[in-house]
């Protein structure tokens, strides 16, 4: 398969994830959509690394994976803290920090 196919698939996945973030209101689902976007970026990184014939893009993808794991851990910690305080799990009503 040509590299183009992978890149187009990756941009399609990225757009789907962005659309999910715009549509959904539950913070857990928004985190899941963030995962989709990060994975789309990973797919593009690995595809470009194959295109160039250089493994450094794969190392970059692994570091992105680590950052994604950190983001999930902190995000889920925040969700559990929100749930413990009996605040609504709805990103549209949690707008106190909005300027």
Partner 1 sequence: MEAVLFFAAALGALGGAVGVVVLRNPFYGVLALIVHLFSLAVLFLLLTAAFVAAAQVVVYAGAVMVLYVFVVAYIGGDTEPLGDSIPGQKFLAPLLGAALFVELSIAVLGSSLLALGTHGPNVNPGFGNPAAIGHLLLERFLLAFEASSILLLLAAVGAVVLAGRQGTPEAGQGAAGGSSKHSSEAPAERFEDPPAAPSPAGGGA
Shortest Å distance, C-beta 64 to partner 1: 10
How buried is residue 88: exposed, middle or buried, by Cβ count under 10 Å (0-12/13-18/19+)?
Answer: exposed
In 11-53 the beta strands, taken as DSSP E runs, fall at: none
Instruction: Give yes or no for residue 98 binding partner 1 (CB under 8 A).
Output: no
Of 41, 96, 98, 99, the residue at the interface with partner 1 (CB under 8 A) is 96
21 contacts: CB under 8 Å, gap ≥ 6:
30, 33, 34, 37
- Does residue 25 interact with partner 1 by CB under 8 A? yes
Considering only residues 45-84, where is the footprint of partner 1 by CB under 8 A? Answer: 46-47, 49-53, 55-56, 58-59, 61-63, 65-74, 76-81, 83-84
The tokens 């609504």 sit on which residue?
88
- # binding residues, partner 1 (CB under 8 A): 74
* Interaction between residue 13 and partner 1 (CB under 8 A): yes
**Residue 31, both tokens:** 């985190």
- The least distance separating partner 1 from the CB of residue 99, rounded to whole angstroms, comes to 17
């Amino acid at each position: 398969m040509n590299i183009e196919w992978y890149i187009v698939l990756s941009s399609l996945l990225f757009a789907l994830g962005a659309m999910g973030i715009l549509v959904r209101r539950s913070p857990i689902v928004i985190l899941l959509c963030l995962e989709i976007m990060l994975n789309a970026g990973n797919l593009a990184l690995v595809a470009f690394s194959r295109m160039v014939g250089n493994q450094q893009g794969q190392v970059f993808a692994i570091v992105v994976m680590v950052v994604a794991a950190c983001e999930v851990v902190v995000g889920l910690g925040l969700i559990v803290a929100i749930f413990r305080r009996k605040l609504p799990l709805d990103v549209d009503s949690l707008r106190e920090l909005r300027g």
